[in-house]
Structure formats: C-alpha cells, structure tokens
Copies of this chain bind each other. A is one copy, B any other.
Amino acid sequence: MAESVERLQQRVEELERELAQERSRRALGGGDGGGGRVRIEKMSPEVVDSNPYSRLMALKRMGIVNDYEKIRTFAIAIVGVGGVGSVTAEMLTRCGIGKVKTFLSLSCRELLTYGVNQLLLFDYDKVELANMNRLFFQPHQAGLSKVQAAEYTLRNINPDVLFEVHNYNITTVENFQHFMDRISNGGLEEGKPVDLVLSCVDNFEARMTINTACNELGQTWMESGVSENAVSGHIQLIIPGESACFACAPPLVVAANIDEKTLKREGVCAASLPTTMGVVAGILVQNVLKFLLNFGTVSFYLGYNAMQDFFPTMSMKPNPQCDDRNCRKQQEEYKKKVAALPKPEVVQEEEEIIHEDNEWGIELVSEVSEEELKNSSGPVPDLPEGITVAYTIPEKQEDSVAEVTVEDSGESLEDLMAKMKNM
C-alpha cells in the first residue's frame, strides 16, 4: 500500500513536470522547439509529402537556380526583429539558410550555447499586443523578448537552421564592439565573417550604426524600411565602396524615421500594416536569395509605393565626399580593384550615365517616366509634429534633390543628419 502511494506521488510529480514543460513550450513559440520534425542531413529533391525541401529543390529543375543546396553554406545577421525582421528571419529559415544571427540580453546569453548556430538575430525589444497587426508574433508571446520568442518559433519551423541570438541595443559602445566581432567572426565557420547583414530596424541611429560597422569591415549589407504612414517602403543593397552607403545620401533612404519609443512617450505612434511589411520582407529576402544563389537581377534599390502600386528601382554611386572615412577608404579600394580588372569598358559605360551637374553622383537607372513619378506621389498626410514621410516622391525631382543636398553647401552632412534627427 505504501509502495502504491509512493508510485502515485511519483506519477503526480512526473505529470506536473510534463504539464509545466508543455505550458512553457506553448507560451514560448507554439511548437515544441525542434521536435516538430527531425533534422535533415542532406537536402533532397524527392517529391514526397514528408520532404520540406522538395519545392525549393524544384527551382533547379525549373532552371532558376543552379545549386540550391548552397543555401546551407551561408550565414545571415538580422538586426531588428520587428514587423519586417521577423518575417525576413522566417522566410530565410523556411528556405533552409545555413545560419541566422540575431542579438540577446546578457542574462539570456546562455541561449548561445543551444548548439551550433547560423541565423543571427539582434533586437532588445519585447513582444507587445501592439505588434499583433504585423505577421509572425502571437498574443500568447506578449512580454517575451522578441529575439527569444522568434528563435523558439523558428527553431521549431526548421531545426536544420542554426541560430544565434543577441538581445541588446547595438548602438552602445560596448555592444557595438561585440556586434562588430559577431559580424566578422560569426559566419557559418567560427572566425569567418557572415555573408550578409540585413538591417530591419526602425530608427535612424541603428541604421547609422550598422552603416559604420559595415563600412569599417567592408561588409556587404541590405537596408530595409517602411514609412511612418505604412503605405511605402524600400530595400537597398549596399556594397561598401561600390554603391552609396547610408551616410552618402541619407535623405533618399530615410527622411525622419524616429524611434518608436520617442513617439510612444508622446502618445503618438507610427502606422503599420502587415501587407506593406510582408511585401518589404518578401522583396528583401528575394534580393538576398538572388544575391547568394546567383539568379535574376539583384536590385540596388527597390521602392514600394502601395498607394499607386509603383515600384521604382535605381542605383546610387557612393559620394566621394562622404562623411564616413571608411566609406571613402572602401571607395579607393574599389577603384583600385576595378582598375586592375582586364575589361575597363564596363566601368566607362557605368560612368557615362552620371549627370555632370550632380554633385552626389546619384543616378536613376530605371525607366521611370516623369508621369509615373508624379502619379506615384501619395496624398500628403496630416502628420503629427516630428514625423515626415520618407517615401512620397516629390513632384519635381530636381527640386527635391536640391532641397536635400543643399546645393551650395555651407552645411556638412553631420549638420544635416543632426537636423534630421531633431525633425
């Protein structure tokens, strides 16, 4: 009898433990954190319901991608796991990328020991119910750190992807050093750099920080952004020295993207839509896939104006007077590299496009007509103080460039940026 009681007590304890585990799993991410399916050693093109890669490997048979399996050899760092970053991480995870890197608080640093890891996520925000108008996070995750909740969900979706998460603000001095270190050493093989850094942040300071790091490291990265009125966005590929960096021509990239926290304090918030953010994440990851797997045309800049369904493309040359000394250094190195190439005519052709009176060297390469540009201007919304729209295209292009670059410049880029930050 005593034995039976003991056994029952053990069973109760066991069940209570299991129940607690089960509840915390559900609270975290939905699935069971890697138990959703077993890990797969080698991607197979076999057409069976149980193969999560059959539809991706079919890209080879369709003649789109030569070597899809190569996706597993890449490591991507994502900074910001909000409306765009979370969906970006999910798409890359479902595509079977090698590693995803995002960034955790010191107390959660132990998650780094979860195993080997290859998608890097950086964010220091918590999931809130106010985020539920965008894809990815669910109400039962409210209060959890975004990178932690994201990592748990993503690991469940695809246990073949390696994750590294950092829950901190990259703009502080100490964190910046750690961030630089993880970019240059956190590749698929420890000690090698990541293949791409993706900026999915919502404020000017974080963008400038990523820009500074990538210019110093010569790290290729992609920028993304959504306007405060939720109806436009863009993505941009930045190859240090080759294309304009974020400091070369900031106003074209982002006008006054103020940190959401500042706005919240004043009882005002930016608008956002799952549609616009989903489209921006989609074109961002599509550009990543084209860049890494070498198919189609990689866009240097692709905009999305949802009001008119207008998608401008262009490419921007770096500014020789860029304020960032590492950008100027990378430009010199790129020039030397190009000069050493056997075919100089490629460079000539590119240079012909530049307008002579264009001190910024900004060139519009797309076939966008005046009328299209005009049609694409959405209505100018009645904005609360401190917010301006980043992506509504001005009626006259020349005027806007003049306004933005301060033609006969007595002001430095630093002054301009300081102004923008205070707008």
Q: A: which residues have CB within 8 A of B?
A: 1, 4-5, 8-9, 11-12, 15-16, 18-19, 22-23, 25-26, 29-32, 35-37, 47-56, 58-59, 61-64, 87, 90-91, 94-96, 128-130, 132-135, 138-140, 142, 153, 156-158, 228-231, 263-264, 267-276, 278-279, 281-283, 285-287, 289-290, 295-297, 299, 302, 306-309, 311, 313, 367, 369, 371-372, 375, 378-384
For A367, the chain B residues whose CB sits under 8 A away are 369, 371-372, 375
Bound-complex Cα distance A229 to B133 (A): 31
4 more A-B residue pairs beyond the given contacts A61-B384, A62-B382, with a C-beta to C-beta distance below 8 A? A8-B8, A26-B26, A35-B140, A37-B132
C-alpha gap A4/B8 in the complex (Å): 10
B32 and A134: CB pair below 8 A? no
- Cα A5 to Cα B1 in complex, Å, equals 9
Q: A52-B129, A140-B156 are in contact. Are A135 and B87 (CB under 8 A)?
A: yes
User: Which single member of B19, B59, B156, B231 contacts A138 (CB below 8 Å)?
Assistant: B156
What chain B residues lie within 8 Å of A263 (beta carbons)? Answer: 47
Q: From residue A129, how far is it (CB to closest CB) to chain B in Å?
A: 5
Task: Give Cα A32 to B138, complex, Å.
Answer: 10
| Interchain Cβ contacts under 8 Å between A and B, 27 examples | A1-B5, A15-B16, A19-B19, A19-B22, A22-B22, A26-B31, A31-B138, A31-B140, A47-B263, A48-B130, A52-B132, A53-B133, A58-B269, A59-B271, A62-B382, A63-B380, A64-B229, A64-B379, A91-B278, A94-B274, A132-B157, A132-B158, A138-B153, A274-B282, A275-B283, A367-B369, A367-B375
Q: Are B138 and A47 in contact (CB under 8 A)?
A: no
Taking a contact as CB atoms under 8 Å apart, the answer to whether A230 and B309 are in contact is no
The smallest beta-carbon distance between A6 and chain B, in angstroms, is 10
**In the complex, A58 Cα to B382 Cα: how many Å?**
11
Q: Which residues of B contact A272 (CB under 8 A)?
A: 55-56, 58
Q: Given A30-B29, A271-B62, A367-B372, A130–B55 Cβ distance below 8 Å?
A: yes
Task: List the B side residues contacting A379 at CB < 8 Å.
Answer: 63-64
Residues of B within 8 A of A273 (CB): 55-56, 59, 95, 286, 289
User: Given A91-B274, A157-B132, A267–B47 Cβ distance below 8 Å?
Assistant: yes
User: Which B residues lie within 8 Å of A307 (CB)?
Assistant: 290, 295-297
Other-chain contact of A271, B55, B130, B264, B375 (Cβ < 8 Å)? B55
Q: How many copies does the complex hold?
A: 2
User: Once bound together, how far apart are the Cα atoms of A405 and B1, in whole Å?
Assistant: 87
Select A64's contact among B25, B62, B230, B278, beta carbons within 8 Å.
B230
Q: Which residues of B contact A95 (CB under 8 A)?
A: 133, 273-275
Q: How far is the CA of A264 from the CA of B48 in the complex (A)?
A: 8
Q: How far is the CA of A287 from the CA of B371 in the complex (A)?
A: 22
Which of A1, A267, A311 has the most chain B CB within a 10 Å cutoff?
A311
Asked if residues A47 and B139 are in contact (CB atoms below 8 Å), the reply is: no
Flag if B231 contacts A381 (CB, 8 Å): no
List residues of chain B with CB within 8 A of the CB of A18.
19
Picked from B15, B270, B375, the residue with its CB within 8 Å of the CB of A55 is B270
Are B94 and A381 neighbours in the complex by a CB distance under 8 Å? no
Contacts A30-B31, A229-B63, A271-B62: A297 and B308 contacting too (C-beta < 8 A)? yes
Contact with A231, one of B35, B64, B369 (Cβ below 8 angstroms): B64
Q: Which residue of B lies closest to A288 (CB)?
A: B275
Nearest CB of B to A379, in Å: 6
Q: With A55-B270, A130-B49, A269-B55 in contact, is A135–B94 under 8 Å at CB?
A: yes
Closest residue of B by beta carbon distance from A31:
B140
Which B residues are in CB contact (< 8 Å) with A47?
130, 263-264, 267-269
Pick the residue among B49, B139, B228, B369 that contacts A156 (CB under 8 A): B139
A286: chain B residues at CB < 8 Å are 273, 275-276, 279, 306
CA distance A156 to B30 in the complex (A): 11
Which residues of the partner chain B approach A378 to less than 8 Å between Cβ atoms? 64, 296
